[in-house]
Amino acid sequence: MKAVVQRVKEASVSIKNETESLKEMSRIEKGLVVLLGVGREDGEEDAEYLAEKISNLRIFPDGNDRMNLSVLDAGGEVLVISQFTLYGDCKKGRRPDFTFAAPPEAAKTLYQKFIEKLKARGVKVKSGEFQARMLVKIHNDGPVTILLESK
């Protein structure tokens, strides 16, 4: 699994509805946005690893303005968005190759497992809609962006 983790002041995700207008689906204030990609070789242990790592990642400022607090310590929320394009291989040609991304059914299962594992750690989680066309608004704080891989 791959994750792009961004510390945010606020973030939201909207989806297109039947009339092609945008409908806000989820919104968080202070917290993290996690863009999550699931690979062909990933399993539940990858979801477990990233959930543990992200819930305890110390990237929020403490009283001395040092990155010393986790999202749990800071009382933040997490907005999780599925992002299969993290597995786009652009080494050849100009069009990304998504061969290494997990098939939709397997990816959805692990995406949901990841969310469950975050919640089990006490993290307040909101999410986008799997396989939907979404508009994600991110107010990156810092900016702080961390790239994580489970392998």
Is 6 one of the annotated active-site residues of the chain? no
Catalytic residue chosen out of the listed positions 83, 98, 112, 130: 83
User: For 11-67, where are the alpha helices, taking DSSP H only?
Assistant: 44-56
Q: Which amino acid is at 29?
A: E
Q: Which amino acid is at 106?
A: A
Catalytic residue chosen out of the listed positions 6, 19, 60, 85: 85
Task: Name the residue among 35, 14, 34, 10 with its Cα closest to residue 23.
Answer: 14
Catalytic residue chosen out of the listed positions 84, 100, 130, 131: 84
Torsion 136-142-147-148 (CA) sign: negative
Pair of tokens at residue 76: 């933040």
Is 83 one of the annotated active-site residues of the chain? yes
Give dist(CA 136, CA 29) in Å, integer. 14
Per-residue CA distances from 91 to 2, 53, 56, 95 (Å) = 18, 29, 33, 9
Catalytic residues: 83-85
